[in-house]
Structure 1
Amino acid sequence: MRTLISYLSYSGNTEEVAQYIESRLKHEGFDVDMHEIGIDLTPDVSVYDFIFLGTFTWDLGSTPEEMKDFIWDVGYKPENVAVFGSGDTQFGGDSLFCKAVDKLVTFYHSKWEGLKVEQSPRGHQEKYIDSWLERVLEDVRVIA
């Protein structure tokens, strides 16, 4: 199954989550391409069976402009989009934590809840990624 992981990261936390997901998907036998939003040219997402989209949350719950530009460049809402992101509860508390993830899940009508990681995905948070990814992959295997 051809899979794209597109992500936007300033601090490197969302990039780490993307790399973790990439490693797990490759281990499962997926064909994975990585795309760093704002750095790489926007790929033709229509050639992918599945898309993982990663972002951080900016400015008290906002979706970063580069992510909005990516969505505009893609030009349509592909199906089978799973959304993940990193955030920090010290900026706005629980009500604003990873709010951009929630917004993208709603925008894409994603079948899956968004994955929200507090800062770095290392350590105990890897189990949250594993659990979320397993739920997503259960459905993806059915789709394939």
Structure 2
Amino acid sequence: MTKAVVVYATITGNNEDVADLVTDALENLGVEVDEKEITMADVADFNDADICVVCPYTYDEGALPEEGLDFYDDLREADLTGKIYGVAGSGDTFYADDYCRAVDDFGKAFEDANATKGSENLHIDLAPEADDVKKIDAFAAELVKQAKN
């Protein structure tokens, strides 16, 4: 059975909602999912997973989540060769160039860890709405397809 670990960081609850939707979409595709808040997670949790997902928020002017800095640093130094990754997160388009920057930063960290991109980074404006659920379902389907290749 395909296994996934979904890690999220949230202040407003939007990224927990994103993580819940990713988890639901993966489970609907027959994946066994372990969802964790970032302070309760360790990069080693990805060792037993086929699919690794992070749902971070972007703070202020493009900053990573404070409580996820150690996780981010550990991720950049990990070796996730053979793992499929995806990054999805909520942001606020008000911040223009800094919109969802943490999503892209975590994507780069997965690349540094030699993981294989399973889907394009998914940026969601504020709380996920009906059209975002469709994007999340497609995101999850791409991850599963890559994991089965």
TM-score under structure 1 normalisation?
0.85
The answer as to whether partners of 1:77 and 1:108 remain within 8 angstroms in 2 is no
Q: Report whether the alignment pairs 1:100 with 2:102.
A: yes
Is the 2:84–2:143 contact (alpha carbons within 8 Å) kept by the matching residues of 1?
no
- The residue number in structure 1 matching 2:120 is 113
C-alpha RMSD over aligned residues: 1.8
1:58 matched to 2:59: yes
Query: Which residue in the other structure is 1:29 paired with?
Result: 30
Q: How many angstroms apart in 1 are the aligned matches of 2:9 and 2:105?
A: 15
Equivalent position of 1:132 in the other structure? 139
* 1:13/1:121 contact within 8 Å kept: yes
> Which deviates the most, 128-137 or 11-20?
128-137
Alpha-carbon distance in 1 for matches of 2:59, 2:4 = 26
Report the CA distance between 1:13 and its aligned residue: 0.5
Is this contact kept in 1: 2:51–2:143, CA < 8 A? no
Higher RCO (C-alpha 8 Å, min separation 6): 2
SS of residue matched to 2:106? helix
Q: 2:86 aligns with which of 82, 88, 91?
A: 82
Q: Aligned partners of 2:30 and 2:147: how far apart in 1?
A: 13
TM superposition score normalised by structure 2: 0.83
Q: Where does structure 2 lack aligned partners over 5 or more consecutive residues?
A: none
In structure 2, the residue corresponding to 1:57 is in which secondary structure? coil
Give, in whole Å, the separation in 2 of the partners of 1:82 and 1:4: 10
Q: 1:106 to 1:41 in 2, by over 3 A?
A: closer
User: What secondary structure is seen at the aligned counterpart in 2 of 1:44?
Assistant: helix
Assess, with a 3 A threshold, how the Cα gap between structure 1 residues 71 and 5 changes in structure 2: closer, same or farther: same
Q: Distance in 2 between matches of 1:41 and 1:16?
A: 17
CA distance in 1, matches of 2:124, 2:90: 5
User: Does the 8 Å CA contact 2:72/2:109 hold for their aligned counterparts?
Assistant: no
C-alpha displacement of 1:107 = 2.0
Give ranges in structure 1 of 5+ residues lacking alignment: none
Question: What fraction of aligned residue pairs are identical, expressed as a percent?
Answer: 29
Q: Deviations over 1:92-123 (max 9, x none)?
A: 22x21101111111221252321111111122
